Amino acid sequence: MERTGFIGLGIMGKPMALNLLKAGFPVRVLESSNAARELGEAGAESAPDAKTLARESDVVITMLPDSPEVEAIVLGPGGVTEGIREGSLFIDMSTIAPSTAKSLYSALQEKGVEALDAPVSGGQTGAEAGSLSIMAGGSESAFQRAEPLFQVMGKSFVLIGGPGAGQMTKLCNQIIVGSNIQAVAEVFTLAGKAGVDLEKMREALLGGFAQSRILEMHGKRMIDRNFEPGFKVKLHRKDMNIALQSGKEFSVPLYGAALVAAHLDALLAQGRGEADHSALALLMEQLAGVENK
C-alpha cells in the first residue's frame, strides 16, 4: 500500500485518516495537528512540516477549510511542493474554488506530480462510516491510482472530468443541500406554528416525493434541537460564497443560492457560525416569531 500523508485532521479529516489506518495504509500526519496524538495511537507516523511529510509520502491528501489554507500548505514556504517527489500523487479533498484547483494542478504538473481535486459530501457521519460521496477532477490515471484510497473513505467515487470539475460539482452539491435545508426549515417552522406534530409530518413526508436525506437527517436534527456541528454554518457559507462567485464568472443567476447565503450570513452575525447548518431552522423560527427552544 502506498504511503499516505494526510493534512487536515478536523471534523472530517480525522475520521477519514483513521479509516485509512484501519484499512492498513501507512499514514503520516503533521505533528503539530490537534489530532496527531490520537492518530499516533492508532498507528500513524508524524512529520514536522508539510515539506517533510510530502517527501516521505507517495500520496499526499489535504482536507482543509478553504482555498487560502490549501494554497499556503501546498505552495507556501516549507509546503508540499518543496518536498513532494516526482511521480507522487496529490489529492485535495477540501472544498475550494475551481480556479484554485486548476492553479494547484498546474503547479504540481511542473513538479512531475499528478493531482486530483476530490471534494466530498456526506458530513461527519459519512466520514466516520467511510461512506462519503467523492467527486473528482483530474486525469483517468490519477483517479485509478487513488481508487484504493477512495474505496476506504467513500461509498461512491466518480471522475467528473478534468481539473476543477470535482470542485464545480461540489459547489452544485452545496447549492442543492443548502436549498433543501432552507426548504425543510421553512416547512417545519410553518407546520410547527400551525400546531402540526413535526415527528408525524416528517414520517409522512419521508414516504412520498418529498423524501430526501436532508428531510431524514436534518429534519430530525431540527425536531431534536440538535445543532452540534456535522457541517458548520461558517463552512457552508464559505462554499456558497464560492458558488456565487462561480455564478458571476459564468453569468448564471443563482437566486436561490443567494437567499441561502444571506440566511447563513444572518446566522454568522448572530454568533452561530460553529453550529450545524441545520440551524437555518432557528433563523426561520426567529423571523416567524416562534420562540426558540
- The torsion angles phi and psi of 251, rounded to 5 degrees, stand at 55, 50
CA of residue 157 relative to chain centroid, distance: 14
pLDDT band for position 230 (50/70/90)?
confident
Average pLDDT over residues 62-71: 96
pLDDT digit string, tens, across residues 106-144: 999 999 999 999 999 998 999 999 999 999 999 999 999
pLDDT band at 92 (very low <50, low <70, confident <90, very high): very high
- Exactly one of 170, 232, 234, 238 is catalytic; name it: 170
pLDDT at 291: 82
Cell 489506518, residue?
21
- Per-residue confidence band for 293, with pLDDT thresholds at 50, 70 and 90: low
Rounded to whole angstroms, how far apart are CA atoms 208 and 33?
45
In the block, cell 430530525 appears at 220
Task: Indicate the length of the chain as a whole number.
Answer: 293
Q: What is the pLDDT of residues 12-35, one digit of tens each?
A: 999 999 999 999 999 999 998 889
Q: 12: alpha, beta or left, given left = phi > 0 and alpha = psi -120 to 50? A: alpha
Dump the DSSP string for the chain.
---EEEE--STTHHHHHHHHHHTT--EEEETTSTTHHHHHHTT-EEESSHHHHHHT-SEEEE--SSHHHHHHHHHSTT-HHHHPPTT-EEEE-S---HHHHHHHHHHHHTTT-EEEE--EESHHHHHHHT-EEEEEES-HHHHHHHHHHHHHHEEEEEEEESTTHHHHHHHHHHHHHHHHHHHHHHHHHHHHHTT--HHHHHHHHTTSTT--HIIIIIHHHHHHT--S-SSBHHHHHHHHHHHHHHHHHTT---HHHHHHHHHHHHHHHTT-TTSBGGGHHHHHHHHTTPPP-
One-letter amino acid at 144 equals Q
Q: Which three three-digit cell numbers place residue 203?
A: 414520517
The residues that bridge with 61 in the sheet, in sequence order, are 6, 91
pLDDT 10s digits, 237-264 = 999 999 999 999 999 999 999 999 999 9
Contact 279, 272 (CB under 8 A): yes
102 catalytic, yes or no?
no
- Domains in the chain, start-ordered, CATH in brackets? 4-162 (3.40.50.720), 168-287 (1.10.1040.10)
Cα–Cα distance, 212 to 40 (Å, whole number): 38
